[in-house]
Structure 1
């Protein structure tokens, strides 16, 4: 059986995601599509608008056959670590291909970029360090390093100023680092740009614009044309029962988490560095809204995303000491499957290099405990009258 892997967040699952999933299956002639999906907190340092089980149902309805959770330690990390965790899981599941969306639309530029960096590693790393010393944010420092080695070359290189290209490059790099036999494939992104905030005239909108419409209008009704029918129904069901999750809803919990600690204690939290803990402490005392807090702490040194990632770690209590224990994925957490996915799992189960977890009580692991903890904190901020905690223990894998 041919398995093709994809790395997703589905926040929420929309028509562009459906196109990518269908093309991945068609172009690789796959029998099984395996989606490694972030849990309840995402790579941009924000909560998913609906929980991971609702998004799992969206994925299975859209054509995925297996949905595996990307552990919190990787799902909320910088792009290289995010990609490392996802690619290692897809490789452990014996995928023949991994497929990602990109602005580039061709694998050759990514391969060329990897080759260039490997031959100019010293200059590349030196340029990054110099940019960091100048107070430039990490993503822009990476871009500076890339520009330092690419300005004199005539070969076709990936444009690493584009968000999907950046992740695609790191997927390729992660696969290369572990000498994976998976074949990379990229599908050109269609429709609006990744960060476009406005809904377009056609049926393919960015997840950013869909979320902005939902929060601006306080309703999901306007986004229906941009989502497959099942995804939209699941989105509406969640809205009716719980309301959508957001940083605004979680800010009281975040504010309490910051004020409970002395600034010095905040330095124990993952990613906190260079005195930003004092800015967080002051802003938490003074600001009553999340937007006000972010405006008070933003700076040229840190991107909005990197600040949000720090805040997610404060909220969940994810400490540097815990992160040091989690260097690689140590289990395969099954969130959902189709009959095809179940058949594929049966065919490889005895060869899996990592334990397959369908019941979280069956494994004690610091990474899995972090997933369980982050789910409870996510659900604690839900605005429904009685959010249910302990769902990781209560919810079996979804079978369609």
Structure 2
């Protein structure tokens, strides 16, 4: 039995994701689709629209066979670290292939670029530092440095999915993983598009915007599978809301206004005195959007600041993140996924977690904290019930 891995957030699952999942299986001929999915907080430093359990059901309903969580220590990080954790998990699960969406759509371009980056690593690093001294953010500095070093670059590293794809291929090389990479071209809708497409595929960004702009998401039905639409309706009915940064702003404000400066400086991503800038704007900020708009600079992008704020909420320190190792947290399985797991379970190189209440891994503590924070906007007793679920919920068996 062969397996293909996909690295996802599903925030929420839509028709573009369904196309990716189908193409991953079709292009590789794999029998089993393994989705490594971010938990309650995502790579751009945002709370997921709905819980990881709800998104697991979306994935399984659409054809994923095994859904495992990408731990917080990797899911809320820059592309390189995000990819490193996901590839480690897929390699431990003896995944044969990984398939990612990209703006480029040509895997040879990614492998050639990975070879170039490896061969010129020190030169590129020096150029990135020069660019950052000009006040550029790390992503912008890396893109500029790459273009300076390679005037005829095989891929455009200013495009977000190309960057992630490049990070997956580089992680495979660095870890000497046996995974073979594939890529498919993103179709119709771009990653940052914030308006719904006239076709059946729209970006997750535009779908989320439409959800929060209206009390009804009935007009979104053509952009997502029926199973996703039903799951969103059920989640809203059960929890009273979808998750948004503004729901967490009061907690962030409290955290910043009551935490001693030396404790703020221990938080991951808080560097170069940025804590003083955060404190100078938090008192007068009336919303998270207002706060970010004032704090954002050329060097500190919205994404970097959002990740910083997530780490503040979860009280995640530099030492915690530096010591974190990946592990396999099972969220859901189809019968095919169960069968695949049974064949490779004794050969896993990473620890596997089915139910948190029976787990003694230190690394899982950060993910538990993340769930506790994620539940804060709920009213009691829903909040306590949601926190308890983190300990007691076994993997979802589908159907």
What TM-score do you get using the length of structure 1 for normalisation? Answer: 0.96
Question: How many Å separate the matches in 2 of 1:364 and 1:258?
Answer: 31
Q: 2:260 aligns with which of 259, 262, 265?
A: 262
Paired residue for 1:58? 58
Q: What's the CA shift string for 1:316-351, capped at 9, x where partnerless?
A: 11111211211x31x210000000000000000111
Structure 2 stretches lacking a partner, 5+ long = none
Shift of 1:75: 0.3
Partner of 2:275: 277
Residue of 325, 334, 338 corresponding to 2:323: 325
- Cross-structure match for 2:79: 79
Q: Report SS of the residue matched to 2:350.
A: coil
Q: Give the Cα separation in 2 of the matches to 1:299 and 1:358.
A: 42
Deviation for aligned residue 1:386: 2.7
Q: Secondary structure at the match of 1:366?
A: coil
Q: How far apart, CA to CA, are the structure 2 residues paired with 1:283 and 1:222?
A: 38
Deviation at 1:134, TM superposition (A): 1.6
Q: Does 1:291 align with 2:258?
A: no
Match of 1:200 among 194, 197, 200: 197
| 1:119-134 paired onto structure 2 within 5 Å | 119-134=119-134
Q: 1:212 aligns with which of 209, 213, 217?
A: 209
Specify every segment of 5 or more residues in structure 1 that has no aligned partner in the other structure, as ranges.
none
1:3 match: 3
Question: Do the aligned residues in 1 keep the contact of 2:356 with 2:392 (CA within 8 Å)?
Answer: no
Q: Secondary structure at the match of 2:98?
A: strand
2:41 counterpart of 1:41? yes
Residue 285 of structure 1 and its aligned partner are, at CA, apart by 1.1
1:335 is paired with a residue whose SS is strand
TM-score by length of 2: 0.97
The alpha carbon displacement at 1:260 in A equals 1.6
Offset, 1:122: 2.6
RMSD between aligned alpha carbons?
A: 1.2
How far off its partner does 1:367 sit?
A: 2.0
CA distance in structure 1 between the aligned counterparts of 2:72 and 2:210, rounded to whole angstroms: 27
For 1:166, which of 163, 166, 181 is the aligned residue?
163
Deviations 1:152-191 (A, max 9, x none): x4xx601111110000000000010011111100011012
Deviates more, 1:101-110 or 1:363-372: 363-372
Aligned with 2:237 (options 237, 240, 246) = 240
**Structure 2 residue 112 is the aligned partner of structure 1 residue 116:** no
CA distance in 2 between counterparts of 1:352 and 1:210 reads 37
Contact preservation (8 Å) 1:196, 1:208: yes
Structure 1 residue 383, shift from structure 2 partner: 5.8
Closer, same or farther in 2 for the Cα pair 1:121/1:324, shift >3 Å? closer
CA distance in 2, matches of 1:257, 1:264: 13
